[in-house]
Chains A and B, each alone.
Chain A
Amino acid sequence: MDAPSARIDIGHAAKDAGLTALLTFFLLLPLIGFKTVQNIHNELALDTRFPLLFVFVALAAGGRFVYALTVLPWRERRARRTRAPREDAARVRARIERLLAPGAIGFVIVYPMIVLGLAGFGGAVKWVDNFGIQILIYVMLGFGLNIVVGLAGLLDLGYVAFYAVGAYAYALLAKTFGLSFFMLLPLAGCLAAFWGILLGFPVLRLRGDYLAIVTLAFGEIIRLVLINWVDLTNGYAGITGIPRPTFFGIPFNADDDGFAAIFGLEFSPIYRTIFLYYVILALALLTAFVTVRLRRLPIGRAWEALREDEIACRSLGINTTNTKLTAFAMGAMFGGFAGSFFAARQGFISPESFTFLESATILAIVVLGGMGSQVGVAIAAIAMIGGTEILRELDVLKDVFGPDFDPTQYRMLLFGFAMVAIMVWRPRGLIATRAPSLFLKERKSIAGSLVKEGHG
């Protein structure tokens, strides 16, 4: 049996739980124990919520007690067990991972049909729009940022700037010149890529966290300009009435020359939603495909080399300036695509949609997925965006916590918590293996910890 050091020690666990209770009490005392409220004289007054405070304290202490009794000894045992390398399991996992991507692509292609079959015409819009399109936008943004962060190792906290450039480019050009979505899409991408180079140029010398902060500053500057340049962007009020995309010239409306009438269908808003779903799906797949192919080109190899060691790159004659700028431009271009799609889908944009929180969300998706791993990015986007969207649907919680309970207000709270928890649990992201683009005899996946990331 186990060695004595792993025995269950109730006294120790109780002491731990007591200390946790004390800590939780003092941590939460001001913010949970009291609530500031406006009284009838419009002054601030205090309410107490001590029962709630004690619920939290009890939960923390109980959780810690159980943790100390169950998880800790288990982890100790696991750490002591020497692990034999399991070749078979690794091979099976590799095969599953190889089948995962085609399977997932097949699923997302038929997803609207499944939803249509299950929820009917009325109920399907929500599921295709909130879950399908919303998640795919973030998958696409994640893929785009993955080029910059995962491949080239350039930490970018202002990615939302390019998203905004794409969105405003589409909105303004479509409203002013009446150009169609598919004409403006490449144009918006080019404009965003241009901004990528423009913002990338001054920061070429910076590395790591410094680069992150400067890109954050650029992202905020662009947002503040969007807010304050009212003549062009209409400021906080945003741009309304952005033309919606058409089915290659056929509008999605109830008219005689609308999509439904021409194809002999009954009018329903679901057609537009499904069309938009396939557009963003195609864009996301395009991004993934381009990334996969680019990794095998000299420029992709140069990106990964740059991520591993910038000095070695320079010594070998790689032009680091061009390499970095192409990475910025490529990432920005896909951000611009996503932005113009976003503007076309919403029909309304305002600077509110392009806050730092969006950049942080996209970066979180890339890092939590395991940088450089496309499958990981997709899984992280589904988990983080789908997870927070699903909170809107949980009416069950109202039965538990009473009718005043509004789950949506806990969305971002849980989002932040999940970011911390996943990082602590798996610092390398959910998919922690990497497939090298160059190999000697056979393709083997390697541990993520052998790869440097986000350093340059």
Chain B
Amino acid sequence: MDIFVQQLINGITLGSIYGLIAIGYTMVFGIIGMVNFAHGDVFMVSAFIGLITLLIVTTWLGVTSIALALLIVLVVAMTLTALVNWTIERVAYRPLRGSFRLAPLISAIGMSIFLMNFVQVAQGPRNKSIPPLVPGEFVLMEHDGYQVTLSYKQLIVWAVTAALLLAFWYVVAKTPLGRAQRACEQDQKMAALLGVDVDRTVSITFIIGAALAAVAGTMYLMYYGVVNFSDGFVPGVKAFTAAVLGGIGSLPGAVIGGLLIGLIETMWSAYFSIDYKDVAAFSVLAITLIFLPQGLLGRPDVEKV
């Protein structure tokens, strides 16, 4: 029981990170129908940007308050990652819009390889680790010497994720910008005829996706305290799994999918085998796509002739 509760807490934390990345996948897929393969690596780049900002803020500027440092890191990482993703869309994806289906996917795979190796060349292949930023934890239960804990950093991950999700949900659901986005999702040509700037809307979608990935990247850095240039691929695929599981194109679906994938992974590690935890996540992806291709909250894809 205590192991279960502990894994539930860990799983929700991990799931929040996946959910944040998954939103980037789901929004881009919804609006231009492409799997943005480089999104996992954008997440990794954001973690590196966060790391470097953190080092600047703490060692050079001498900011001692961890809360202030984290806030600065979050804002800088979100801004710069958004800029990175905006540029990627302009350079690698926009010229290929309206081309045949495979071209943007190959371009995205190439971009993913490029980003990964760029960070490797620029920052070195070794793991970058930082001392724990937010030590301390609540003890929720104690049973035969086994403590169920909720650490402060997990609490921060939950709170930041929830707050930013709410903010972005509001943007997408209630503002003219979100309305334009949903219009482009349904029918780009019609939206353009009605005066929606499709290019701009797509750019903003990439910016929002990157900003949320940067939140995930910062949280990942704070939670695990270590990042590596190859850290983008597996979380990326898992987040994509989450997006598919929740129903691609659906924002709440992405979050629910992320939480489910996080829980499946931690529970599998606790009760079955930690070696096969990635196999579990990938199997979930395959099984979902085979038996429930529209996902939990997605609309079924009607084939028209």
Chain A interface residues toward B at CB < 8 A: 23, 26-27, 29-32, 34-38, 43-46, 155, 202-203, 205-206, 208-210, 212-214, 216-218, 220-221, 224-225, 227-228, 311, 356-357, 360, 363-364, 367-368, 371, 409-410, 412-413, 415-420, 423-424, 427-428, 449, 452-455
Contact = CB atoms under 8 A, between A and B. Distances in A.
B213 to A, nearest CB: 15
Nearest to B275: A228
A44 B106 contact: no
B179 interface: no
A383 to B, nearest CB: 14
B110 A212 contact: no
B119 A364 contact: no
Interface string B246-259: 00000000000000
B52 A46 contact: yes
Interface stretch (B79-87, B164-172, B190-198): B79-87
Contact of B285 (A217, A418, A428): A217
Contacts of B237: 216-217, 220
Contact of A214 (B52, B80, B107, B290): B290
Interface string B77-113: 0001001100100011001100111111111011111
Contacts of A44: 51, 55, 128-130
B113 A357 contact: yes
Contacts of B99: 427-428
Contacts of B120: 409, 413
Contacts of A449: 100
A311 B286 contact: no
A356 B303 CA distance: 31
A228 B121 contact: no
Contacts of A452: 100
B107 A423 contact: yes
B260 interface: no
A214 B35 contact: no
12 contacts: A36-B51, A217-B241, A225-B279, A412-B117, A413-B117, A417-B110, A419-B106, A423-B96, A423-B103, A423-B110, A424-B107, A454-B101
A418 B84 CA distance: 19
Task: Report which residue of A23, A155, A418, A420 has the largest number of chain B beta carbons within 10 angstroms of its beta carbon.
Answer: A420
A293 B160 CA distance: 60
A424 B282 contact: no
B110 A31 contact: no
A413 B34 contact: no
A210 B107 contact: no
Contacts of A228: 275-276, 279
Contacts of A46: 52, 55-56, 59-60
A383 B119 CA distance: 24
Task: Report which residue of B95, B118, B119 has the largest number of chain A beta carbons within 10 angstroms of its beta carbon.
Answer: B118
